[in-house]
A and B are shown apart, each in its own frame.
Chain A
Amino acid sequence: MTPAVVSLARKLGAFLRRDFLIAASYRFAVGLQLVEILFVATIAFFLARFLRQQGLEQVTPFAHDYFSFVILGLAFFDYLGTALGVFAHTLREGQLTGTLETLLVTQTRLETIVLGSSLYAFLATSLRVGVYLVTGVLLFGLPLAGADWGATLVLLALSIAAFSSLGILSACFILLFKKGNPFAWLLVSASGLLGGVFYPVSALPPWLQSVAQWLPITPCLEGVRRALLAGESLRELWPQAAMLLAFAGVGLPVTLLLFRWSVARAKRTGTLAQY
């Protein structure tokens, strides 16, 4: 490994350690999150049982029942919420506590600071998703025996990259306007409404279905459900993977450039640390 890679790994490790130690110091919040997951999974289970009794479970594509459909929707929707919140939240917290300026005077690139500050949040989300899946399998019979985990992980990585580009856009908003972040609100709402979290996209009117195709959550959830529940391979899921790759490939460079511009503007106007 080159010294640059070692240095990058050490810095990312330092961010991870920092955020883990801070999170671990709030023990009650960690426990509460586990309880919350259990509640959500139980609600989904009873909702699914009700729909089965009404003979409606066949409306859920790639899933044996509504529970499998919705629990995966909720679990992976969590990544979008994390991506949209973590960059803006880290930035705002840095402005409020004064630590943003202390980070920016270190020998660490801005991109590394942004990436490093998001690592723990994504790791914690993965842990939550893991708890969702384990709870689903052990308590409610979520059928994951035939899942293609390789395809799931690739789709997940692409989804995180695509979602992160939207999260960085939110961070730009915080840098420029300080408070009130319409991107995060709009994207989470639109994705929850149109992305196939609670019901299939096919349940929407045709014109809304075409809008849904422009949201990265749509190919993410479709791909992940097909990989986990129908055991489809990456070869079968290439349209979803290609869509997510396109979102990430265009979104990340553009939003990182926009972020650099926002920081430079804040440095010119003297508003970098303002909140």
Chain B
Amino acid sequence: MIPAIEVENLGKDFPRVRGGFDWLRLPWAGADKPVLRGVSFGVAPGEIFGLVGPNGAGKTTLLKILSTLLEPSAGRAALSGCDVVRQSAAARRQLGYCPGFDRAFYLRLSARENLRFYGALNNLPRRPLAERISSLLAALGLDGARDEPVRNFSTGMLQRLAVARALLHQPRVLILDEPTRSLDPTAAAWLRRHLREELAGRQGSTVLVATHNLTEAEEICHRLGVLDQGRLQAAGTAKEVCRQAGAASLAEAYARLTTPEKASEEARPR
């Protein structure tokens, strides 16, 4: 069986960000900065895989490579067997992506108009699209605001709309970057249940979710990967990760496997 997500020895270097007179002072001090190093893991169809790690660990970079928004410097990655660099169009057909930035909408359009636009770009026929939009907006509690301009939405409503956009074309692989970050407890609980029971359970979709919420990761993910300083420090079920770290709980394992964020680690392209 072809894994839904394959990541093999993936590496990503970014050019060092230099400003002002650095170009004159240090013209050759331009070694690339490694952000991901030798990351390998696979996710089976219907599985929910969680990525946890401190800020700057490389989670978003990894998700962007899988979403075809970034090219890796080394290694390879594939979605349902489609290489994300060489077969990027085919890879995108498998993909639903929910970015971490929750204002990535046309704010003067309504929720329905935004989803209609993205649905057309994802080749959804008109009538099924209209039905899909109605059911998703209802499920995400946005039905009452479907014709309101998105600029009037709260952060939580925008986040729910971003989830709806990612689910619109019923993708086989769903990539979510901190999807519950701005959600209230009820909406977050609904999303977690929806991911586990509906998407992974009934529809057999594969979900890769990056989160800082360890309780959430433990609750919804079949397996987890702990990413730190660009390396996958441990991967497996929550129990396996704890065993690998020699810890009694996931929180303790996380603390042992990761290093506190340094301010300089943040200075990189996103």
A-B contact pairs, 5 of them (CB 8 A): A13-B120, A98-B104, A99-B104, A107-B122, A270-B64
The answer to whether the Cβ of A109 comes within 8 Å of any Cβ in the partner chain is: yes
The CA-CA distance from A269 to B69 in the complex, in Å, is 11
The CA-CA distance from A108 to B95 in the complex, in Å, is 13
The CA-CA distance from A270 to B61 in the complex, in Å, is 9
Interface mask (A4-34 → B, CB under 8 Å = 1, otherwise 0):
0001001101110110011001100000000
Number of A residues contacting the other chain (C-beta, 8 Å)?
A: 33
Nearest Cβ on chain A to B244's Cβ, whole angstroms: 30
**Stretch in B21-29, B111-119, B179-187 touching the partner:** B111-119
Given A107-B93, A270-B268, also A22-B103 (CB < 8 A): no
The answer to whether A98 touches B101, judged by C-beta atoms less than 8 angstroms apart, is yes
The answer to whether the Cβ of B121 comes within 8 Å of any Cβ in the partner chain is: yes
Contact of A106 among B15, B71, B118 (CB under 8 A): B118
The answer to whether the Cβ of A53 comes within 8 Å of any Cβ in the partner chain is: no
CB closest chain-B residue, reference A18: B117
The answer to whether A22 touches B105, judged by C-beta atoms less than 8 angstroms apart, is no
A-B pairs under 8 A by CB, number: 97
The answer to whether A102 touches B118, judged by C-beta atoms less than 8 angstroms apart, is yes
The answer to whether B121 touches A14, judged by C-beta atoms less than 8 angstroms apart, is yes
Task: Write the residues of chain A forming the contact surface with B, with a CB cutoff of 8 angstroms.
Answer: 7, 10-11, 13-15, 17-18, 21-22, 25-26, 97-99, 101-109, 264, 267-274
Given A14-B116, A25-B108, A99-B106, also A271-B269 (CB < 8 A): yes
**Chain A neighbourhood of B254, CB < 8 A:** none
The answer to whether B149 touches A103, judged by C-beta atoms less than 8 angstroms apart, is no
Interface mask (B86-104 → A, CB under 8 Å = 1, otherwise 0):
0001001101010101011
The answer to whether A270 touches B97, judged by C-beta atoms less than 8 angstroms apart, is no
Contact of B269 among A11, A25, A103, A270 (CB under 8 A): A270
**Chain A neighbourhood of B107, CB < 8 A:** 97
**Chain B neighbourhood of A268, CB < 8 A:** 70-71, 73
Nearest Cβ on chain A to B20's Cβ, whole angstroms: 16
* Closest 9 pairs between A and B when the two form their complex, measured CB to CB: A98-B104, A14-B120, A270-B269, A106-B121, A98-B101, A25-B108, A108-B121, A105-B97, A267-B71
CB closest chain-B residue, reference A109: B89
